[in-house]
Chains A and B, each alone.
Chain A
Amino acid sequence: EVQLVQSGAEVKKPGESLKISCKGSGYSFTSHWIGWVRQMPGKGLEWMGIIYPGDSDTRYSPSFQGQVTISADKSITTAYLQWSSLKASDTAIYYCARRVVLTGYPHFDYWGQGTLVTVSS
């Protein structure tokens, strides 16, 4: 069974650093891109970026480039999303999701349960 299990909720202060995780299991972790999606309180979904754990090739949305870092450790089948200096506006739920391509069309077929990040002084 494919599973993406994310790390638990975090409460941080502005300026602090943070790294959240997404552990994949039940499939070949190095063969599928993993994406990250932000959902701010009461708002819609925002595509942040994506990583291919096989070689750590990473693509970012221009809106998030330089604001976050996406990485992966294939030895422990885990992808990461990290911030070096959090802002209150980073408060959101962050989802990881597995990207597949069927008949040439990419889509997210499995999602993690989400990680709530709260940034408040």
Chain B
Amino acid sequence: DIQMTQSPSSLSASVGDRVTITCRASQSIGSYVNWYQQKPGKAPKLLIYAASTLQSGVPSRFSGSGYGTDFSLTLSSLQPEDFATYYCQQSYIIPRTFGQGTKVEIK
């Protein structure tokens, strides 16, 4: 299986901050990375696919980048509704493994 390692596991930030979450794959996976947001008690929501393509309806303050083994999700200006847990996922091969998650909390 491909291992997806996110960092940090959690972070505290303030509204308006720029936040970056990284995800490293255990082998090269091209641009086969998706990012999801999950709020407590809710199903995950797709934010980005193909490493950098914004899903329809997702605010433009979210962006993704990376290729090969190193990827990142950036929130340009954190909003109150962005406090949640974020997961990367590789879609290169089955099983399509997720990272362990990054919890973004209010400072």
Contact = CB atoms under 8 A, between A and B. Distances in A.
Interface of A: 35, 37, 44-47, 49-50, 59-63, 95, 97, 102-109, 111-114
A35 B44 CA distance: 13
A61 B95 contact: yes
Contacts of B44: 37, 45, 95, 97, 108, 111
Contact of B89 (A47, A60, A112): A47
Interface in B77-104: 87, 89, 91, 94-101
A44 B46 contact: no
A103 B87 contact: no
A31 to B, nearest CB: 18
A95 B87 contact: no
B101 A105 contact: no
Interface in B25-68: 31-32, 34, 36, 38, 43-46, 49-50, 53, 55
A61 B94 contact: yes
Contacts of A109: 46, 55
A36 B98 CA distance: 13
A111 B97 CA distance: 17
Closest 10 CB pairs of A and B: A61-B95, A105-B50, A107-B49, A111-B43, A45-B98, A107-B34, A44-B101, A106-B91, A47-B96, A47-B95
B46 A108 contact: yes
B50 A103 contact: yes
Nearest to B44: A111
